[in-house]
Amino acid sequence: MRPQDASLLGELFEHGLSPAARRQRFHAAVRCLSPVQLAWLANADFRCHAAFIVTRQAGGLEHAVAEGCWVRSGGTADAEFAMSVADAWQHQGIGQHLLHTLVCTARAQGIGSLQGDVLAGNLAMQALAGSQQFDCKPHPDDDHLLRATLALAPQPVLSAAWFH
């Protein structure tokens, strides 16, 4: 995602997600995000905050169909992730690819684990997280949430001697 994608992100949240989908993403009744919130989400440095947007072209215009991000937790090696897929584009594998991208980029940045809070009734996100080997357990502070966690072991680097 680039800073200039903030307007596409706003369009996705306001018009691409139903009120129920926005509630599942933000855990509250949210109609739209402020320009400051959208700018922050779209301005990722890919060290402490990574953000991705999936778009499509229609009628000569670009439209957002999904978004996802991870943000390092203050002072730790861990990061929190969140994502959403437009209602009309769900169940087509976009979420699976997006979550895989979040995992791979977090691992590449040395993130120790990814975690995300999921509403207890959000069965689709629970299934998606489970398909990527996340462990979903009751949230320690909120009975209405589950915490999806994936430990990210570093990728082993093979030495040049291994190839000889």
For the chain, which domains are there?
A: 3-153 (3.40.630.30)
State the pLDDT at residue 155. 58
Mean pLDDT value of segment 95-115: 95
Which residue type sits at 34?
S
Three-state secondary structure readout of 98-142: HHHHHHHHHHHCCCCEEEEEEECCCHHHHHHHHHCCCEEEECCCC
Structure tokens at 89: 């584009």
Give pLDDT tens digits for 13-57.
999 999 999 999 998 888 888 999 999 999 999 889 999 999 999
SS3 3: helix
